[in-house]
Amino acid sequence: MTPSVSAFRRTPNLASILIAGAAILTAALALLTVPAQEAHANPDPSDIRLLRSETDPALLEGLRSELGTVTVSTVLDSANRTGRSCSPSVRHRTASFCWNSGDTSVAYWMPQGVTTTGDANASGEYEGREALLSSWYDKDSGRNMGVRISFVDMSNRTTPEYRHVLLVQPRWDGGQPSFGPVNAHAGGIVWYGDKLYVANTYNGLRVFDMDDLMRVSTGDNTKIGRQPDGSYYAHNYLYVLPQEAHYQPSTTGGEGRFRYSQIALDRTTSPDSILVSEYGNPGTDARMARYNLDQGDYGIAEDSDGYARADWAYTVGIRSVQGAVSVNGKFHIHRSNGSSTRGDVFIWRPGSFATQYTGAVPIGPEDVSYWPGRDEIWSQTEYPGMRYVYASRESSW
């Protein structure tokens, strides 16, 4: 089976990585096996918008004053868990590890997004370290913990050490700086410079600043935020990362609201860009969109009216897309087939047919990320008892 894909480019600055024109793409893909009547109209990318809203600077400064800040290296050096060696069946696999036994089996934390220092910096390092980040959402713990991020020290790629950090949303509490949980599915994440982008489904993208990592008190897994005695807790997590900003989504021109299910960085475009994609089932109208990035402040490039508008968009007829990343115009699209069947990988090169690799990855594949310096596509799986983190050789696909 090959998917139906169609594209619409807002501006010509991506021509070097896409086909020369929409007419060529339309003709090339007309022969795909998905019936033509299932194809939906291409979105005008300028109709898919984001508007940034900032966390109150005084609130963030209040938290910094109360708690201080720590570095990414400090978090990595404080790792309190060790991954296990494992060898999942992955086409073109180059590396892999498994979480410790507790994280592999826990039912209420669900791993989703993945990013690495290969995203963070062109050098592939951050503070001189190689690291991988994984997002987990609280599915049903009864404590509403929101989202946590695993900071994994990748100096050991087989049994790495790691620590979980809780994402928090700052808020005022009786005139004092405090915070609560970040309620998001966190289906995709991107580490770009000192910023962490977190996909928030129909609520756009949340942004966190790595310079704002903070240490809090531990010893009580029921408390979060500022307590009456002035202490701060985060459900027994030692570190928190407060939200810096929120890109609120909207659409115009009659375009349906966009579902920010996954996100990936593309350093092979000029300027760098992020690719966002939708999960859809049956998926015949799932969309992808690309936003240019501002390499000065690591934010999303905005138009004169303050809106960040997509610069490229297309519609894809692949159901259950869980992750998508583009590398020099070649798209890696991962699909989940539920909790009992291995996942598929689709490779699409503009101007040619998409190729499906059935069962190429384990059951329950999620978000994907490209590590340029290592020529690797990283991903992970979500289901308890079947959780793997793994990489495949990008150039082998």
pLDDT reading at 37 higher than 50: no
Separation between Cα atoms, residue 299 and residue 194, nearest integer Å:
10
User: What band does 8 get if pLDDT is binned at 50, 70 and 90?
Assistant: low
Buried-state track 339-368, b at ≥16 Cβ within 10 A, e below 16: eeebbbbbbbebeebbebeeebbbbbbbbb
Separation between Cα atoms, residue 258 and residue 39, nearest integer Å:
17
Q: What pairing do the DSSP bridges indicate for beta strands 161-173 and 239-251?
A: parallel
Please give the average per-residue pLDDT across 357-382, as a whole number: 98
pLDDT (0 to 100) of residue 317:
83
Please give the average per-residue pLDDT across 22-38, as a whole number: 32
pLDDT (0 to 100) of residue 238:
98
> 77-91, 163-177, 278-292: which has the minimum mean pLDDT?
278-292
CB 53 within 8 A of CB 40: no
pLDDT (0 to 100) of residue 221:
97
Please give the average per-residue pLDDT across 180-185, as a whole number: 98
pLDDT (0 to 100) of residue 285:
84
pLDDT (0 to 100) of residue 40:
61
Of residues 255 and 37, the one with the higher pLDDT is: 255
> What's the pLDDT tens digit per position in 292-305?
999 899 999 999 99
Please give the average per-residue pLDDT across 82-87, as a whole number: 98
pLDDT reading at 49 higher than 50: yes
In percent, the amount of the chain with pLDDT more than 70 equals: 89
298 vs 294, 384, 385, CA distance in Å? 5, 35, 37
Q: Dihedral sign, CA of 220, 226, 214, 291?
A: positive
pLDDT (0 to 100) of residue 352:
76
pLDDT (0 to 100) of residue 113:
98
DSSP 8-class letter at 395: G
DSSP 8-class letter at 39: P
Q: What is the pTM of this model?
A: 0.92
pLDDT (0 to 100) of residue 7:
55
**Structural domains in the chain (count):** 1
pLDDT (0 to 100) of residue 16:
35
pLDDT (0 to 100) of residue 316:
87
Of residues 27 and 361, the one with the higher pLDDT is: 361
Domain limits at 73? 5-396
Question: Which CATH number is 76's domain given?
Answer: 2.115.10
Please give the average per-residue pLDDT across 178-182, as a whole number: 98
Residue 335 φ then ψ, to 5°: -125, 135
Please give the average per-residue pLDDT across 76-91, as a whole number: 98
Question: Bridge partners of 228?
Answer: none
Residue 117 φ then ψ, to 5°: -70, -15
User: What band does 284 get if pLDDT is binned at 50, 70 and 90?
Assistant: confident
pLDDT reading at 247 higher than 90: yes
pLDDT (0 to 100) of residue 38:
37
Please give the average per-residue pLDDT across 151-159, as a whole number: 98
pLDDT reading at 13 higher than 50: no
Of residues 38 and 91, the one with the higher pLDDT is: 91
Q: Element (H or E) spanning 391, and its range? A: strand 389-393
Query: What number of other Cβ atoms are within 10 A of residue 251's Cβ?
Result: 15
